[in-house]
């Protein structure tokens, strides 16, 4: 993913998520800046149809929604899938699976052997089918997940 892709990424995001969960252009620019090797796009010809925002992270708690990071954690041990989205017209064609497979391969090259993510309520079943399991709740985790909407789970 390149900084020039952010405008198209925002269009995909707006087509997939409710307005209350949309993240800013600054967030995407920040993630590209700190983790360019693990942020990817899917193209159909010249058209951006999906994206993956992922980066090395400490598995303890997820990052807050729509907050820039100064740097990645020094003790990063986990591949954190921040967001994977595909235009509705392209869903079901393996685009997300390809993005995630490429991301997993890059994570392995970086020495990251675990993965985590925050699943929105409507996506928990999807991630369960892909082998992710919810982590135990705590007060700190509930506070982090509050911005992700009701039913979001750290997996």
CA 77 and chain centroid, separation: 16
DSSP label of 70: S
Residue 83 has pLDDT above 90, yes or no: yes
Instruction: Please measure the distance between the N-terminal and C-terminal CA atoms of the chain and give it in whole angstroms.
Output: 25
So where are the chain's domains?
A: 3-116
Task: Taking residues 104-110, report their average pLDDT.
Answer: 95
Residue 99 has pLDDT above 90, yes or no: yes
The CATH superfamily assigned to 3-116 is Gcn5-related N-acetyltransferase (GNAT) (3.40.630.30)
Residue 97 has pLDDT above 90, yes or no: yes
Instruction: Detail the DSSP E strand segments found in 67-149.
Output: 78-86, 114-119
Task: Taking residues 77-97, report their average pLDDT.
Answer: 97
Residue 147 has pLDDT above 90, yes or no: no
Task: Give per-residue pLDDT as tens, 23-80.
Answer: 999 999 999 999 999 999 999 999 999 999 999 999 788 998 889 999 999 889 999 9
């Amino acid at each position: 993913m390149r900084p020039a892709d952010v405008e198209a990424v925002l269009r995909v995001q707006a087509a997939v998520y409710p307005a209350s969960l949309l993240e800013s252009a600054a967030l995407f620019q920040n993630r590209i800046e700190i983790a360019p090797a693990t942020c990817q796009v899917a193209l159909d010809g010249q058209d951006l149809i999906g994206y993956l925002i992922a980066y090395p992270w400490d598995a303890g708690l997820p990052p807050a929604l729509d907050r820039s990071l100064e740097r990645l954690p020094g003790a990063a041990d986990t591949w954190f899938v921040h967001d994977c989205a595909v235009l509705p017209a392209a869903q079901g064609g393996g685009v997300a699976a390809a993005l995630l497979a490429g991301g997993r391969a890059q994570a392995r090259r970086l020495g990251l052997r675990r993965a985590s993510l925050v699943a929105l309520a409507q996506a928990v079943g999807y991630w369960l089918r892909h082998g992710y399991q919810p982590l135990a709740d705590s007060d700190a985790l509930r506070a982090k997940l509050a911005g992700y909407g009701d039913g979001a789970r750290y997996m």
